[in-house]
């Protein structure tokens, strides 16, 4: 191989070289997207494990920091794990391998993986609009205001008009297709007309009152139990329970696209879509 070929090969390698960043620099970008100030007071978001000065060459993205996910991040040689749900939620008095949370923390620390969670701050700035986009809700506004200043009102969930008038049965099929969900649980008369839809990804029972107050015909959410469902219907609100995972799984492809666009040539991997439960 002559000198010119060696030079060209070196240039190609340089063009595809992974761009490393400090963990703190990545955190700044994540908090630009979903500021920590939008998180609920009871929540636990941000850097939960690791060093801010950690050099990051590879990111792994998942919905939850399960043991399986952490093992996958280790196998991918990831330097940083980003999830939606915080693994550390309740105060910990001890960190040891006999405790399943402690064991996960030790694994992250032993492999030098910084761990960052984006929960209710992403619910406010990211999640709800992403799901509303999938459903093509028109003229949308915030469902539950949790943050307000002189510039804007922000919060959990969105409410807007469906792209067309449809029956509740048709709406359920539309949610399944738009959000790529295998099954939904529906409370309400299949023939009732749906015009206005509220969406609250995750556990949405606390949004029922706001959905009724704002005139929604249907609330699309997750984790609705028997009594909440039948009581909502009696008050004129149909419910499509698409599951906690069913709606929030959008976090993974959303953040995968964001990180690839924001961090250039950095390696970014994502957890494969897999429902955490099955129905017999």
For 28-48, write each residue's pLDDT tens digit.
999 999 999 999 999 999 999
How many Cβ atoms are within 10 Å of 208's Cβ, its own excluded? 22
Chain Cα centroid distance, residue 271: 12
Which regions of 127-270 does DSSP assign to beta strands (E)?
138-148, 153-167, 185-187, 193-203, 218-222, 238-241, 267-270
Of 2-16, 74-88, 89-103, the poorest mean pLDDT is in 2-16
pLDDT at residue 151 in the model: 86
Mean pLDDT of 201-205: 96
Q: For 3-27, how does the pLDDT look when each residue is reduced to its tens digit (9 = 90+)?
A: 444 334 434 444 445 678 999 999 9
Which structure tokens are listed for 82?
């980003």
Furthest-apart CA atoms within the chain: distance in Å: 80
Alpha helices in 46-167 (DSSP H): 67-75, 100-110, 120-122, 128-134
pLDDT above 90: residue 280: no
Residues of the chain by 3-state class (helix, strand, coil), percent to 5: 40, 25, 35
**pLDDT at residue 9 in the model:** 40
Rg (CA), the chain: 21
* SS3 state at 139: strand
What pLDDT does residue 189 have?
A: 98
Number of neighbours of residue 75 by Cβ within 10 angstroms: 10
Distance, CA of 29 to CA of 50 (rounded, Å): 17
Question: pLDDT value at position 10?
Answer: 35
Q: Which one, of 99, 102, 62, lies nearest residue 84 by Cα?
A: 62
What's phi and psi for 195, nearest 5 deg? -120, -55
Give me the mean pLDDT over the 125-131 stretch: 97
Residue from 150, 122, 151, 155 nearest 140 by CA: 155
């Amino acid at each position: 191989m002559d000198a010119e070929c060696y030079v060209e090969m070196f240039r190609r390698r340089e063009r595809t070289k992974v761009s490393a960043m400090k963990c703190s620099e990545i955190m700044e970008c994540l908090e630009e997207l979903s500021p920590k100030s939008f998180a609920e007071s009871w929540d636990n978001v941000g850097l939960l494990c690791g060093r801010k000065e950690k050099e990051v060459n590879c990111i792994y993205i998942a919905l939850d920091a399960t043991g399986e996910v952490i093992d996958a991040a280790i196998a991918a040689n990831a330097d940083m794990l980003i999830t939606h749900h915080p693994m550390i939620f309740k105060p910990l008095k001890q960190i040891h391998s006999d405790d399943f949370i402690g064991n996960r923390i030790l694994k992250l620390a032993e492999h030098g993986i910084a761990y960052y969670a984006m929960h209710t701050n992403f619910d406010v700035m990211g999640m709800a609009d992403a799901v509303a986009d999938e459903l093509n809700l028109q003229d949308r506004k915030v469902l539950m205001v949790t943050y307000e200043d002189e510039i804007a009102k922000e919060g959990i969930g969105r409410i807007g008009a469906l792209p067309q008038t449809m029956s509740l049965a048709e709406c359920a099929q539309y949610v399944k297709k738009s959000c790529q969900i295998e099954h939904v649980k529906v409370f309400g008369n299949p023939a009732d007309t749906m015009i206005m839809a509220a969406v609250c990804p995750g556990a949405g029972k606390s949004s029922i009152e706001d959905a009724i107050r704002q005139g929604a015909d249907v609330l699309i959410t997750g984790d609705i139990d028997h009594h909440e469902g039948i009581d909502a219907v009696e008050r004129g609100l149909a419910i499509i329970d698409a599951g906690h995972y069913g709606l929030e799984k959008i976090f993974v492809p959303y953040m995968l696209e964001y990180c690839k666009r924001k961090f250039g040539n950095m390696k970014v991997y994502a957890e494969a879509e897999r429902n955490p439960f099955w129905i017999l």
